[in-house]
A and B are shown apart, each in its own frame.
Chain A
Amino acid sequence: MRNTGTIATLAGLPEERPTVRYLAGVRWGLLVAALLLSLVGLATIHSASSELALDYLPRQALRLGLGLLACALVFTIDYQTLTKFSLPIYLTGIALLVLVLVFGREAGGARSWLSFGAAQLQPSDFAKLATALLLARYLAGVNRRYLTPAQILAAVSMVLAPMALVALEPDLGGSLMFLPMLAGMLLVAGIRWRYLVAGSIVIAVVGAGLWNFATRDYQRQRVKTFLAPESEPLGAGYQLRQSKIAVGSGQLTGRGYMQGTQSQLRFLPARHTDFIFAVLAEEWGFLGAMLVLALYGAYVLNGARVAVRARDRTAILLVVGLLSWFSFHVLYNTAMVVGLVPITGIPLPFLSYGGSFTLANFVATGLILGVDFRRYVNR
């Protein structure tokens, strides 16, 4: 059997492998979960924006297409190649974050968008992917069972630079999203418990300092609102209250597609972005919400399987970093919508309306699929 498939040629794969084997090499569960979630997202965005002058469905569908294209493109590039160039990629990310601070477009109180004509990009998502690549490369090179304090500090500082820049925009929620990625990768790379405890103390102290001196009033208000939502039902507690009403009123089977009063009558703010899961839970009920949570579970567990099967430290660490980031978004967002954690601007992967974040999720998916596809190659 001679098959000189183009993908194999482009990716520098041995030519004698049959097409069927290539297809079997793709982690379909991961891809299908991502696609199904994206379709659920499109349907829910349509419902959440049907009362607005502008239906967001076509724009999000376009982004889904772009995301799939990016996914396929990244899939074709060997992750070894990407990690080899991780430093320039990382520096590019830092440069974009500096650019956005200077030339960025302000929206919702934060300067976090770069405009390229009609297209807009949120560099913080790109910076997270770049940081994951650099961290994977650095931690893979550490040839020890446990990381030394110096190595931990080196890894932390790689993350702190982009984090600080994002926090300056100011986008506190977005900057905190670097932490789950760092934590997941450090944990897997090997960190002693005492450093973990010490690190937690440092984060607590620094966090308390930031709380007192560096946070804005609206950020503090959000946390306070979370702690006592009924104390101020007319002010900042409104979002949380409306979200819980939306979720709760969905009951077991939901109010029906496009029938949720909380979203259709516009009681729920941010319903097509950060609070899209509340719309879904209202219209499809507990059963619908659980189905979507199961899809996220399938995505993450398929991804974890990729890490287990991966052949080198770089691959394992890269997949762990990307999945930690992804999982945290899923867990935090769904917990926030139901009122378990304070409200902050953390979107839900594949469901929330948004260009850069959707693109970043598909790029991460492409990276993970690529790692899995090359599990026999990079020995």
Chain B
Amino acid sequence: MMEVREHREDLLQRLPVLRISFIVLLLAIASSYWFVQVVQGGYYRTLAENNRLRKLSVMAPRGLIYDRDGRVLVGNVPSYNLLLDRSRSRDVGASFDFAAQILGRAPEELEEAAERLPSGSPFAPVLIAENLSLSQVARFSVANLEHPEFEIDVGHLRLYRHGPLTAHVLGYLGEVTADDLRQAGSPYRSGDLVGKKGIEQTFDRELRGTNGERVVVVDSRGRSREEFGGRAAQAGEDVRLTLDLALQERAARYFEARVGAAVALDPRSGEIRLLVSAPSYNPNLFARRLDRSEWQQLLESPHDPLQNRALQNTYSPGSIFKIVVAVAGLSEGFTEEKDAVYCSGGARIYNRRFRCWRRQGHGWVNLREAIKKSCDVYFYYLGQKLGIDRLAEYARRFGLGQHTGVDIAGEKPGLVPDLEWSLQARGTTWYPGETISVAIGQGPLLVTPLQIASVLATTANGGSRVVPHLRKMEGPARREPTGLDPRALGVVGDALWAVVNDGGTGAAARLAGFDIAGKTGTVQVVEQKTWVDSRDLPFDKRDHAWFGAFGPVEWPELVVVVFVEHGGKGSAEAAPLAKLIYEEYRNDRDTRRPS
């Protein structure tokens, strides 16, 4: 026991080493707290604020689109989008697997989506899936404890009430492209949905409104605790169209089994009441981002439903062009009303034989008869007298070969050939024989159905050009003079009345009590050596059918153009739809008029 006590002193000698080490280490730790809390405190305070404050974009509800009577064509429905906050995920791979399982999609697909829409910061949530069903939303909510990295964002989804019926007018939304973003003053941000076609595209800036911003205090699960500030979203403006849904429906029904386009507009103002292109597509597919197979399916479907045939495709006008040739001939003094030409079913001009569509010929025909029966021989001679440059000049006065100015992007200008065009575009001179073809609306001449509607509007309103448009505008319509002779237009207009009402080729469009004036057209797609009934040919070699009309003749209110691709004869395939449209128009007008 004594020895033990002796060595007690040794132990005590060594104690201060431990005590001093403890004090030194404690002071060292205290000084690092000084450094982190006092010296660097401001920096960490900022980090803490960034941790808890989050800026959230509030999507402005997009403006609605109405038809002329205030019927909603496009509305918004709520949609649930899935966001992933990678900073809260313990294992990002597992997060993708979990989400993929609920959504029934491949994890790689979701990872791709996350890569596609970078949010700028690794701590900001990225959009990985859109338009979740309510049951999917519920499953993510239930799993919030195990998977706090997922957030559900409520957005708006475009709902096109009438689907394919208005697709070519309204267009659809799609993701903003890199080119759009690069444009100076672009209001768009990466991942935004913007109008891609039609009215959605043309009036995108009005429709989209201004997105708002919320600054919220969030916890580590990303759940917002309180509002901190921000800016309210401004809803987009509504757009009222001139479109008449009833007429649209009537035409679409007719085109269910046909390919082509129909346009109806008011010749006084240019208001488009009907614009149909068939086949069509369902724009609601585009409201969410399409996947590759859906795209492929659309691109591969027959007759290219994405193409707007009313203004993006060009065709030969066929006999409808005779309106332009007749007006040119009368105005330039190359023909008079009474002048008659003998049609034997063909003519030899420039040492070449040109056939009339009617094998047995029309006999002696004057201008009225030639238009009424659509005699080709009459117009061969008239075209020969006028020459290509005069024909071209009148075609341009009627608005051909140029944009009509309609408020839908992607419009084609068509082609009005003349000598200069031939030298520049083809590097060859213009052959006089080609003029003969152009005189009946064949040859290199190309037009869109909308341009033909414009030609008929000019004919109907006494020589003014109106700009076809879909957005309802206040104030008087803009009408530009074309310098066309009103007398000549009157003579041709009278002949067009005869086409429908006096035993002409447009008899199928005749409507009792509502006088329509119109012109048929049948376009040969493949040149035929002899007279062939195109119904015997394969579909893509059959003739195109045209019918253009205005009515009522005394005070024209509506121009209708019907174009049936590979439909056959204009008199049989195109004219009947015009009649149906006028009928619908008249009935609707009469029920509105107070009796």
Contacts and interface: CB of A to CB of B under 8 A. Distances in A.
Contact of A233 (B3, B25, B87): B87
A308 B12 contact: yes
A267 B51 contact: yes
B29 A316 contact: no
Contacts of A311: 5, 8
A234 B92 contact: yes
B564 to A, nearest CB: 61
A251 B14 contact: no
B41 interface: yes
B44 A248 contact: yes
B52 A293 contact: no
Interface in A236-254: 238, 242, 244-252
Interface stretch (B16-24, B75-83, B163-171, B306-314): B16-24
A189 B4 CA distance: 12
With most chain A CB atoms within 10 A of its CB, the pick from B44, B49, B122, B219 is B44
B218 A289 contact: no
A252 B18 contact: no
B7 A144 contact: yes
B19 A304 contact: yes
B467 to A, nearest CB: 56
A265 interface: yes
A312 B8 contact: yes
Contacts of A367: none
Contacts of A153: none
Contacts of B23: 297, 301
Contacts of A285: 37
Nearest to B23: A297
With most chain A CB atoms within 10 A of its CB, the pick from B4, B25, B37, B92 is B37
Interface in B14-48: 14-15, 17-19, 22-23, 25-26, 29-30, 32-34, 36-38, 40-45, 47-48
A289 B33 contact: yes
B10 interface: yes
Contacts of B219: 51, 265-267
B220 interface: yes
A285 B34 CA distance: 10
A246 B18 contact: no
Nearest to A268: B220
A156 interface: no
Interface stretch (A1-9, A208-216, A332-340): A332-340
Interface residues of A, number: 58
Contact of B37 (A51, A145, A252, A316): A252
A239 to B, nearest CB: 11
A220 to B, nearest CB: 17
A214 to B, nearest CB: 24
Interface in B42-75: 42-45, 47-49, 51-52
Contact of B7 (A145, A267, A286, A331): A145
Given A234-B87, A335-B29, A265 B52 contact: yes
A324 B17 CA distance: 12
Given A248-B37, A251-B41, A286-B38, A261 B51 contact: yes
Given A267-B51, A308-B12, A338-B32, A140 B41 contact: no
A293 B43 CA distance: 24
A166 interface: no
Contacts of A304: 15, 18-19, 22
B18 A248 contact: no
Contacts of B25: 331
B225 A286 contact: no
A233 B217 contact: no
Contacts of A248: 36-37, 40-41, 43-45, 47-48
A250 B38 CA distance: 9
A250 B225 contact: no
B52 A267 contact: yes
Contacts, number: 151
B26 A338 contact: no
Interface in B204-248: 217-221, 225
Contacts of A281: 33, 37
A143 B4 contact: yes
A290 interface: yes
A118 to B, nearest CB: 24
A320 interface: yes
With most chain A CB atoms within 10 A of its CB, the pick from B4, B36, B43, B87 is B36
B402 interface: no
Given A187-B18, A286-B38, A313 B30 contact: no
Interface string B109-129: 000000000000010000000
Contacts of B45: 248-249, 251
B89 interface: yes
A316 B41 contact: no
Contacts of A327: 22
B11 interface: yes
B156 interface: no
Contacts of A244: 36, 44
A262 interface: yes
B218 A286 contact: no
Contact of A262 (B12, B51, B122): B51
A286 to B, nearest CB: 4
Contact of A245 (B8, B22, B29, B44): B44
B403 interface: no
Nearest to A290: B30
Contacts of B40: 248
A338 B33 contact: yes
Contacts of B86: 234
Contacts of A300: 22
A78 to B, nearest CB: 16
Contacts of A339: 36
A142 B37 CA distance: 48
A63 to B, nearest CB: 26
Contacts of A335: 29, 32
A235 B218 CA distance: 20
Contacts of B92: 234
B30 A262 contact: no
Contacts of A267: 51-52, 219-220
14 contacts: A187-B17, A245-B44, A245-B47, A249-B44, A265-B218, A286-B34, A293-B26, A304-B18, A304-B22, A308-B15, A312-B5, A316-B8, A331-B22, A338-B32
Given A238-B87, A261-B49, A289-B33, 10 more contacts: A187-B18, A234-B87, A244-B36, A248-B37, A251-B41, A261-B52, A265-B51, A265-B52, A290-B33, A338-B32
